[in-house]
Amino acid sequence: MSREKRVNILYKCKKCIFPLFSLIFISLLSACQPAGLSPKERWQHANGSAYTAQISDDASLSVVSSMHHGISLWDLNNDALKYTWYQQQNTADNLVLLTDISADNSYVMSASKKDFALWNTKTGQSAGYWKVRNSSIRDIAVSNEGKYLLIGKGNGTVVHVTLATGRRLEFLGHKNTEYSIEDGIPAAGYKINSVDLLPNGRIAISGANDYIAYVWDTLSGQVIYQFNHPSRITKVALDSNARYAFTADSKKSAYIWDLKTGKLVSKLQHNKRQSVFSTVRFSADGTLLLTGAPSSAVSLWQVATGKRINDWRVTPKEGTRPTGSVVHSVAFRDNSQIITESSSGYAELWQIKP
């Protein structure tokens, strides 16, 4: 691939082609895996490690942030690179650690610890760039048409931004009176670890080190539901069709909740004492849940019962010790296939049913 200039504009690139040695390695690796558990297809989306990645709800797009390629937007249906973006000019390293794609595929949001940006997926143009003060960015989410942005911060606040008007609502449910040091600055509040937003931007969910996940109204800031856990919340997610909420903590508790009633639907049935989830996605029909973990594991669950149906392990990065990859994102392509993006720089297609 031609060398990319580090400027804050985008350009279209030709599809990357695997070197011969990579294809040989992949073939050997697939041959060693159990039948039916190897990926049907694999595409390289980063030559080095991927800092983060996000697959769209319909599994047609993915955005990948890596050291050597900036922020790359991929067409997964054709394995084609659409755009490459750089969040900051004249910066030696890409520092984007968080990404999200709106449910309607119209916008990508990206963030480093201190700034965030919005990108139009149709034109490839930047829709804005902003900096945050007094605290670091811990997680992000974007609504349909890029109308609303959600930013979870290290000082315990979650900020909901309406782009058209500039309105900012700060959710303070995770704030407390005890002071901690965050990036060398005293901060009152529990660190936010995970946030999510419904496609229309009206309902948000946030989880923090206070052992609580809140579902709240983004117009009023009022709490709708409070879900308590026995340890710090590490992952929250909302079903795009507004049926379910997912919450998980740093030990072994992971729950699916009814978003209309706030009642428990199921608890994921797993035996690993320190199971932590890095990504979560509900199926379009609402019957299945797909999870990824920092341990390379991808699992499929029944929503109604919390039972695990199947497991896979994403391909580790070549030459790493110990071997393993963080699963950054998972998505359902249809009722029989799923797609994953991991820190190894690979996107992989898996068969749900033989």
- 3 located within any domain: no
- 13 located within any domain: no
- 107 located within any domain: yes
- 15 located within any domain: no
- Tell me the percentage of the chain whose pLDDT exceeds 70: 81
pLDDT at 17: 30
- 314 located within any domain: yes
Q: What is the DSSP string of 284-351?
A: TTSSEEEEE-TTSEEEEEETTT--EEEEEEPPPPTT-SS----EEEEEESSSSEEEEEETTSEEEEEE
Q: Write the pLDDT tens digit of every residue in 101-155.
A: 999 999 999 999 999 999 999 999 999 999 998 899 999 999 999 999 999 999 9
For residue 67, name the pLDDT band (cuts at 50, 70, 90).
confident
Inform me whether the pLDDT recorded for 346 exceeds 50. yes
pLDDT at 192: 96
Number of domains in the chain: 1
pLDDT at 188: 52
Q: Write the pLDDT tens digit of every residue in 25-50.
A: 333 333 334 434 799 999 999 988 99
Inform me whether the pLDDT recorded for 60 exceeds 80. yes
**Which one is predicted more confidently, 316 or 272?**
316
For the chain, give the mean pLDDT: 86
CATH of the domain at 29: 2.130.10.10
pLDDT at 273: 53
- 231 located within any domain: yes
- 7 located within any domain: no
Q: What are the backbone dihedrals phi and psi of residue 134, each rounded to the nearest 5 degrees, phi first?
A: 70, -5
Query: Whole-angstrom Cα distance, residue 72 to residue 59?
Result: 15
- 109 located within any domain: yes
Least confident of 158-172, 184-198, 205-219, 274-288: 184-198
Question: What pTM was computed for the model?
Answer: 0.86
- Tell me the percentage of the chain whose pLDDT exceeds 90: 74
Q: Which domain holds residue 125?
A: 20-351
